[in-house]
C-alpha cells in the first residue's frame, strides 16, 4: 500500500507563482491576500478592468524570509482571500505553480466555480466557459505530489484535508455501511457464497466525483479471515445522464449500483452484491468496505472506507446492521 514520503524535517520554502484570471468591477481596486499553510505571504491590488480579460494577474513569491517551510511528500495548502468579501470581483480561475528541486508542481485551485469537478485553468478569457463567479471571499486548494515522487498530481486535491494527497492516502473519504451480510459456501457443485452491502456515499468536496471511466474496485474484509477484492473493469460500469451508475462483471456474478438520492444530488445510495463465491470458514465483526475509483487502484485512487460493527454471527454467515 502506498505511503507518503514525508519527512519529519521541514524542507526549504518553495517559491511559487499565483495566477488569477479575473475582472474587477468594483468601485475601487480589489486587494488580494495570499497564504501558504495559513501563513500570510503577501498582498496585491487588482489591475484588471471590468471586461472579458485574457491576462491573469501573475504574482511570484520568492522571499524565503516570508515563505513558510514545506514538508517533503505532503500537500501544501494555498489560499487567496479577496478583501471586502469579493464584492464586484469576477473570478475566472486561480492557479498556483510551485518550484521544487524536482520540477514544478502545478495546481488549478478554482476554475469558473467551486463546483467544477475538473478544473484546468486553461488559457481563456474571463467570459469564456466555464465562466466566472462573483463575490467569492476566499479560494483554498492543495497542491500534492504523487505518492513516492515529487511529480505534481494531475488534480490538486486532498479530500480529507490531512495534507496527504489522494494518490498517497489510503483513506480519502468515508462511505456509510447501513447493512452487510456474508454467507459462506454451502454448495456441493457450484459455489453459492454471497456478500451483500447496502449503504450511502456522500461526495466529500465540490471537486469530488464518482468517476468510473476506468472501472471500480471493491474490497470487503471482516475481523478474521475474510478478505475479498472485486474489480469492475473499464467498460463494465455505465453512468447514465441522471448520475445513476450501474456496474456488472462479465460473468454477471458481481454487481454495484450507485444511485443519486435525486437528480443532481451529491449523495448516492450504494448497493453491492457478489455471488457464486467459495467462502469458507467462520466470520467475525467488524465488516469493512473499501471502494476505490479514479483510478480503481487502492491507495492511488479515491479510497472511500466504511465500517459496520453491530453484527450477528450464524453458523453459515454474518449479518451486520448499523445502529440508528
**Bridge partner residues of 312 (DSSP):** 319
125-155: buried (b, 16+ CB within 10 Å) or exposed (e) per residue? ebeeebebbeebeebbbbbbbbbeeeebbeb
State which residues form the domain around 118. Answer: 11-143
235/304 same-domain check: yes
Instruction: Name the nearest CA neighbour of 163 among 139, 135, 142, 136.
Output: 142
Residues 138 and 18 in one domain: yes
178 and 294 fall within a common domain: yes
Cβ proximity of 116 and 108 under 8 Å: no
Flag whether 164 is in a domain: no
The reported pLDDT for the residue numbered 33 is 97
Check whether residue 54 and residue 183 sit in a common domain: no
pTM of the model: 0.69
Judged by average pLDDT, the poorest of 38-47, 68-77, 238-247 is 68-77
Of 132, 137, 154, nearest to 145 by C-alpha is 154
* Residue that terminates a domain, selected from 143, 159, 184: 143
Residues 119, 235, single domain; the answer is no
18 and 109 share one domain: yes
Q: What is the pLDDT of residue 170?
A: 63
Q: Please give the distance of CA 193 from its chain centroid, rounded to a whole number.
A: 33
Do 30 and 132 fall within a single domain? Answer: yes
pLDDT at 156: 46
| Helix/strand/coil for 188 | coil
Same domain, 115 and 202: no
Tell me if 212 is assigned to some domain.
yes
pLDDT at residue 6, as a whole number: 40
Q: Residues 180, 97: one domain? A: no
The pLDDT value given to residue 7: 40
Residue 211 falls inside a structural domain: yes
Least confident among 94-103, 155-164, 184-193: 155-164
Mean pLDDT, the chain, whole residue set: 86
pLDDT for the residue numbered 159: 67
Cell 451508475: give the residue: 245
Co-location of 245 and 202 in the same domain: yes
Residue 266: band (very low, low, confident or very high) from pLDDT cuts 50, 70, 90: confident
The CATH number covering residue 43 comes to 2.60.60
Q: How confident is the model at residue 169 (pLDDT cuts 50, 70, 90)?
A: low
Please indicate, yes or no, if residue 153 is contained in any of the structural domains: no
Question: Total domain count for the chain?
Answer: 2
Rounded CA separation 118/104 (Å): 20
* Residues 253 and 193 reside in one and the same domain: yes
C-alpha cell at 283: 466470520
Average pLDDT value for residue range 267-292: 94
What whole-number distance in Å separates Cα of residue 223 and Cα of residue 310?
A: 12
Asked whether residue 160 carries a pLDDT value surpassing 70, the answer given is: no
Is the pLDDT assigned to residue 187 strictly greater than 50?
yes
Three-class DSSP category at 84: helix
Cα–Cα distances (Å) from 53 to 21, 88, 123, 319, in that order, read 8, 15, 11, 60
Residues 129 and 213 in one domain: no
Q: What is the DSSP letter of 15?
A: P
Q: Is residue 160 part of a domain?
A: no
Pairing relationship of beta strands 317-321 and 216-221 according to DSSP bridges: unpaired
Amino acid at each position: 500500500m502506498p505511503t507518503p514520503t514525508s519527512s519529519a524535517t521541514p524542507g526549504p520554502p518553495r517559491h511559487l507563482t499565483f495566477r488569477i484570471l479575473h475582472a474587477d468591477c468594483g468601485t475601487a481596486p480589489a486587494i488580494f491576500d495570499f497564504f501558504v499553510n495559513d501563513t500570510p505571504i503577501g498582498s496585491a491590488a487588482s489591475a484588471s478592468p471590468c471586461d472579458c480579460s485574457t491576462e491573469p494577474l501573475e504574482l511570484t513569491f520568492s522571499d524565503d524570509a516570508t515563505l513558510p517551510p514545506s514538508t517533503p511528500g505532503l500537500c501544501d495548502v494555498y489560499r487567496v482571500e479577496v478583501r471586502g468579501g469579493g464584492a464586484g470581483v469576477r473570478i475566472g480561475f486561480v492557479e498556483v505553480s510551485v518550484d521544487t528541486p524536482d520540477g514544478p508542481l502545478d495546481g488549478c485551485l478554482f476554475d469558473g466555480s467551486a463546483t467544477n469537478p475538473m478544473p484546468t485553468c486553461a488559457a481563456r478569457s474571463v467570459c469564456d466557459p466555464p465562466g466566472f463567479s462573483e463575490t467569492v471571499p476566499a479560494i483554498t486548494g492543495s497542491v500534492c505530489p504523487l505518492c513516492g515522487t515529487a511529480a505534481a498530481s494531475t488534480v490538486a486535491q486532498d479530500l480529507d484535508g490531512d495534507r496527504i494527497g489522494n494518490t498517497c492516502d489510503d483513506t480519502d473519504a468515508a462511505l456509510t455501511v447501513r447493512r452487510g451480510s456474508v454467507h459462506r459456501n454451502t454448495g456441493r457443485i457450484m459455489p453459492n457464497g454471497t456478500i451483500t452491502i447496502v449503504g450511502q456515499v456522500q461526495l466529500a468536496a465540490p471537486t469530488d466525483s464518482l468517476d468510473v471511466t476506468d472501472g471500480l474496485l471493491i474490497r470487503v474484509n471482516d475481523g478474521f479471515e475474510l478478505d475479498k477484492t472485486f474489480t469492475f473493469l473499464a467498460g463494465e460500469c455505465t453512468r447514465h445522464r441522471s448520475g445513476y451508475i450501474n456496474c456488472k462483471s462479465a460473468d454477471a456474478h458481481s454487481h454495484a449500483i450507485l444511485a443519486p438520492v435525486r437528480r443532481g444530488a451529491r449523495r448516492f445510495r450504494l448497493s453491492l452484491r457478489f455471488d457464486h463465491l467459495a467462502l469458507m470458514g467462520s466470520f467475525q465483526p467488524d465488516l469493512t468496505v473499501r471502494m476505490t475509483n479514479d483510478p480503481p487502484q487502492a491507495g492511488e485512487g479515491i479510497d472511500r472506507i466504511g465500517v459496520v460493527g453491530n453484527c450477528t454471527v450464524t453458523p453459515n454467515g454474518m449479518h451486520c446492521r448499523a445502529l440508528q
